[in-house]
Structure 1
């Protein structure tokens, strides 16, 4: 989002962090450089910077007296509306807790059977001078964002769901060891205790879609009218759909599982062979339907959403059962039929994601805007993603389907 480098994010600050990590006050940072790590619209809830520098000295795990490093700094964004919403929703507190405390434990659990890890290494976090965290730069290990604006293909989706199943299975094992450490993550994206500013933003996103669909002759006028009415209750209905139920099969959900929050590693033939998760601001303990419906509503290419839905879900389910078995989990996993029923009961959540999150993903690079830029002087919101041709093509198929299922009725 932001492009101006914070004045405090300098060589001196990075050197202080590095010395704490290395437990060595002789290590020095030279040739410090910082730049924005994302373009406008790639990350709506943070300002993200890449800092690169030379390390002079002999840090641990290095045989050289001089080495190069690259870190990522993730910082509370500027802009009154966005900042207020993020602070009140405690998104940064959630992410810092996840990366500093929970993910290392989950990595250790899965490490008993598989050497893969889920996320970048947390290096530092603080609330001063503004809440932020610093982590390793996964680009140095070859991980990269898939740039497709048409949704992920089958190969990427299968890998993403296998990795998600590994995360969920490992979180079940962690919950069996220490339920309180995962049960404390309660909010996610939609929750009754989130601030009014977040409710207002997502409501306005839905209204923006309603206004835009009124211009689409492919749809009956009644659908636009239903979306406008639905916008008034969208937040409440989505929060109800993902509400924690104690008698469910529950996991620790990523909460924002979409292509923008996946970094892929490729082999020489450009086949995806691994991925890491980024952005743990909306993690929540609850049904795996939360992540699965979010993923289905936001990430696959539409032909997969239409024709390969069961294949994708079965790949997730097969991996979940396999990893839970290898980890010797005592919790009984759901059958595929039970998982499918859970998804069906919460289907409105996928509708909400398709209506308010998918346009933020499919917006063209040239039209990307920050949240503050989307806000209009009259208090309305103009989401450029709702005007994107790719999004229009997807939604002119999905909206009549959702309508036939009664999901647009408010």
Structure 2
């Protein structure tokens, strides 16, 4: 069954019965329009297959309704689904849209705070669904493009304005966790306990030996070969990376009071910007498949090391960090109904700076395999459909050399910045 036929005959009736297009006694008469644009798993998103849908529905005794939807389904190949652990990924995204966001929406409504609509796309439906060509998971979201949201033109390095808009929105998102932890901790932590860890985040798995160690080691070797960092620091790094899997788990371990529900994959690829006169003014997040309860530095370090240049970091690091912190503490004060000054003891700038020093190496580790992919020309990018059939040892070797000297230089710049912060 092709995509359009499946949508008309299977998905739409299921969503109507579910109440996705409005609760009550709405009776679907017909699907008068169903235009489908298929986007295969690709360079920026390789854990899902994407369908963009323009849908027109006619309900009994009502005017036709038009909906622009983005449908995510798990990849078709069963071995590939196992390789990227789509069971955990789609479980987490469904948890976000069907439980966490409604929970926070109720929490904010009770406190008469209007914040949630600024952060997330509307979710129409999220469920396990085996009806579509052996695929078992589905997420249906509002397509935000008709509302003026789009990805940035620049694929990797963002300018100050884009970074500031993204970090202010991230701060608002993180503030939700602090607000709930303060006022409804039991409900918040009950939801957090439902998150599933991805297979790759396991110190005893083969990922640790054959993937994380070789990918994160390459910039250390690069710096050592060029004598661009003191040997004491380099030796310390090598010692830490001997058990890269455990190091990754240690960095992800939540520590109170600053642990938050992280986006988990916070980068340009998962942010849609809205523009006024060519300048970014708003942003929406999507792709919550790797959501995790951890340090806010998990989100901050990945974004600020993947999507900024070394020049921007040199000139505006404190400014961008300040944008994040000022928005976070202001939003939290609004949620809690208190002054910013009352929050400074627990949520002061220095506390978040220390948090970054303690956990910022996480951003380097993730960048060590992802940044080279983003740097590569389209014709040279890894074909994941072929790569997943290889052993992890072979995969790690491919990633450890991918992008050549240019990738190694970019990763080395990240280590230099971490050293400057005292994070190595």
**Could you state the TM-score of these two structures normalised by the residue count of structure 2?**
0.79
Q: Count residues in correspondence.
A: 397
Q: Note the aligned Cα RMSD (angstroms).
A: 3.7
Matches within 5 A, 1:262-301: 262-267=271-276, 269-301=277-309
5+ residue gaps, structure 1: none
Kindly state the Cα deviation for residue 309 of structure 1 after the two structures are TM-superposed. 1.5
Contact 1:297 1:358 in 2 (8 A): no
1:369 equivalent in structure 2: 382
Identify if the C-alpha distance between structure 1 residues 399 and 372 changes in structure 2 by more than 3 Å, giving closer, same or farther: farther
CA distance in 1, matches of 2:259, 2:216: 32
Kindly state the Cα deviation for residue 406 of structure 1 after the two structures are TM-superposed. 9.1
Matches within 5 A, 1:139-178: 139-175=145-181, 176-177=183-184, 178=187
CA distance in 2, matches of 1:339, 1:319: 13
Matched, 1:16 2:19: no
1:111-158, Cα deviation, whole Å (9 max, x unpaired)? 634454211111112222011211111112111111313411100111
Identify if the C-alpha distance between structure 1 residues 17 and 174 changes in structure 2 by more than 3 Å, giving closer, same or farther: farther
Identify if the C-alpha distance between structure 1 residues 311 and 266 changes in structure 2 by more than 3 Å, giving closer, same or farther: same
**Greater mean alpha carbon deviation, residues 172-181 or residues 129-138:** 172-181
Kindly state the Cα deviation for residue 72 of structure 1 after the two structures are TM-superposed. 1.1
- 3-state DSSP class of the match of 1:163? helix
1:91 equivalent in structure 2: 89
**Larger proportion of helix:** 2
1:161-201, Cα deviation, whole Å (9 max, x unpaired)? 1111111112222232223344325566698658936657x
2:314 equivalent in structure 1: 306
Kindly state the Cα deviation for residue 251 of structure 1 after the two structures are TM-superposed. 1.9
Identify if the C-alpha distance between structure 1 residues 398 and 383 changes in structure 2 by more than 3 Å, giving closer, same or farther: same
2:267 equivalent in structure 1: 258
2:137 equivalent in structure 1: 131
CA distance in 2, matches of 1:43, 1:14: 23
Contact 1:151 1:299 in 2 (8 A): yes
Identify if the C-alpha distance between structure 1 residues 279 and 28 changes in structure 2 by more than 3 Å, giving closer, same or farther: same
Kindly state the Cα deviation for residue 5 of structure 1 after the two structures are TM-superposed. 5.6
CA distance in 1, matches of 2:26, 2:203: 42
2:45 equivalent in structure 1: 43
Matched, 1:397 2:413: yes
1:118 equivalent in structure 2: 119
CA distance in 2, matches of 1:224, 1:386: 22
Identify if the C-alpha distance between structure 1 residues 397 and 35 changes in structure 2 by more than 3 Å, giving closer, same or farther: same
Kindly state the Cα deviation for residue 99 of structure 1 after the two structures are TM-superposed. 0.7
Contact 2:30 2:59 in 1 (8 A): yes
Matches within 5 A, 1:171-250: 171-175=177-181, 176-177=183-184, 178-184=187-193, 196=205, 199=208, 203-204=210-211, 207=214, 219=226, 233-245=243-255, 247-250=256-259
- 3-state DSSP class of the match of 2:290? coil
- 3-state DSSP class of the match of 1:123? strand
5+ residue gaps, structure 2: 131-135
Contact 2:83 2:388 in 1 (8 A): no
Contact 2:127 2:138 in 1 (8 A): yes
Identify if the C-alpha distance between structure 1 residues 82 and 37 changes in structure 2 by more than 3 Å, giving closer, same or farther: same
1:76-112, Cα deviation, whole Å (9 max, x unpaired)? 1134453114447612111101011212333455563
Identify if the C-alpha distance between structure 1 residues 219 and 50 changes in structure 2 by more than 3 Å, giving closer, same or farther: farther
Identify if the C-alpha distance between structure 1 residues 57 and 389 changes in structure 2 by more than 3 Å, giving closer, same or farther: farther
Identify if the C-alpha distance between structure 1 residues 209 and 348 changes in structure 2 by more than 3 Å, giving closer, same or farther: closer
1:387 equivalent in structure 2: 403
Matched, 1:103 2:117: no
Contact 1:51 1:70 in 2 (8 A): yes
CA distance in 1, matches of 2:93, 2:192: 15
